Amino acid sequence: MVTPAPSPDAIVDVRELRLAYDSHEVIHGISFEVRRNEILGVIGPSQSGKSSMLRCLNRTIDFSPSARMSGLVRVNGEDVRRVKDLFGLRRRIGMVAPLPVGLPISIYDNVAFAPRCSGITGRSELDPIVEGCLRQAALWEEVKDRLNSLGTALSGGQQQRLTIARALSQEPLLLLLDEFSIAVDPVTTMRIEEVLKELRQETTIVLVTNLVQQARRLADRTAFFLAGRCLEVAPTEELFTGTVQDRRTRDYIEGRYG
């Protein structure tokens, strides 16, 4: 797929990204962009390189000693492969992993954890951060009277939202969500989706999901990954209802494989 020059509002610009574990290449020269204040949905079968791609964006791929990454990955104009301050990079690029759970500390401390690591220690500074993030995650009203309770004691859906609040605690430029809603009931999933629609006003979101219809409900644009390649990126409704460039995209959306 030929990728044009990034649009002026592109906050992520990926060019010819390749990723290999030892000699086994799992991402084969993908290119795409993510625009400011959009939700980019990423769909595709398992083992398509979707989660590995997210880990390249915030350099958590570095935790895999055998990983070898090449190509260009720019976030807000900065080449992430050249970044020396990885802690600072990951502060700007928040990530919520599959099956997220709260840390085994209080609800308050879950949200205050990252700000404290950044040197914010006073309650007068932490209290508004904690409340603000919990409100953004639509969790404040449910937990405001038990902030000292363990985060791990919350229900599954509440822990999902707690991890979002924790990711928001350092005002990330980019929020990466990796199949974050696969373990909760449909009602809770819909509530979390409403949270994401609101968050789009303040941050940019890359949403990897195995739920094709979730991408259709949420994403401004959607990318289709298959076998380590990005076959298409298009406005979501165009991808779902228009003429797609690659028949494999249509077959996946219509459930012929997956």
Average confidence (pLDDT) over 109-126: 94
Residue 242 pLDDT: 78
Q: Which domain holds residue 226?
A: 10-253
Q: Per the domain annotation, does 161 fall within a domain? A: yes
Enumerate the H helices of the chain as residue ranges: 50-57, 86-92, 107-117, 123-136, 140-143, 156-168, 186-199, 212-218, 236-241, 247-253
> Is residue 3 included in any domain, yes or no?
no
| Per-residue pLDDT at 170 | 87
pLDDT digits (tens, 9 = 90+) for 194-240: 889 989 888 999 999 988 999 999 999 999 999 999 999 999 999 99
* Residue 258 included in any domain: no
Q: Is residue 45 part of a domain?
A: yes
Q: Answer yes or no: is 240 within a domain.
A: yes
**Could you tell me the pLDDT band of residue 256, with boundaries at 50, 70 and 90?**
confident
Asked whether the predicted pLDDT for residue 181 surpasses 70, the reply is: no
> Taking residues 103-121, what's their average pLDDT?
93
Q: How many domains, in total, are found in the chain?
A: 1
Q: What is the mean pLDDT of residues 169-178?
A: 93
Is the predicted pLDDT of residue 185 greater than 80, yes or no? no
In a domain, 198, yes or no: yes
* Residue 244 pLDDT > 80: no
Which pLDDT band, with edges at 50, 70 and 90, does 2 fall under? low
**What does the pLDDT average to over 145-154?**
94
Q: In this structure, is residue 5 part of a structural domain?
A: no
Instruction: Report the chain's C-alpha Rg in angstroms.
Output: 18
- The answer to pTM > 0.75 is yes
Proportion of the chain above pLDDT 90, given as a percent? 72
Between the CA of residue 207 and those of 37, 138, 169, 214, 255, what are the distances in Å? 13, 19, 19, 9, 20
Res. 3: pLDDT tops 60: no
Is 16 in a helix, a strand, or coil?
A: strand
Residue 1 in this model has a pLDDT that exceeds 60: no
Residue 17 has pLDDT above 70, yes or no: yes
196 part of a folded domain: yes
Structure tokens at 29: 């020269």
**pLDDT the model gives residue 51:** 94
- For residues 22-36, give the mean pLDDT: 96
Task: Tell whether the torsion through CA atoms of 211, 161, 222 and 46 is positive or negative.
Answer: negative
**Which CATH number does the domain housing residue 138 bear?**
3.40.50.300
Give residue-wise pLDDT tens across range 62-99.
999 999 999 999 999 999 999 999 988 998 999 988 77
pLDDT of 52 over the 80 cut = yes
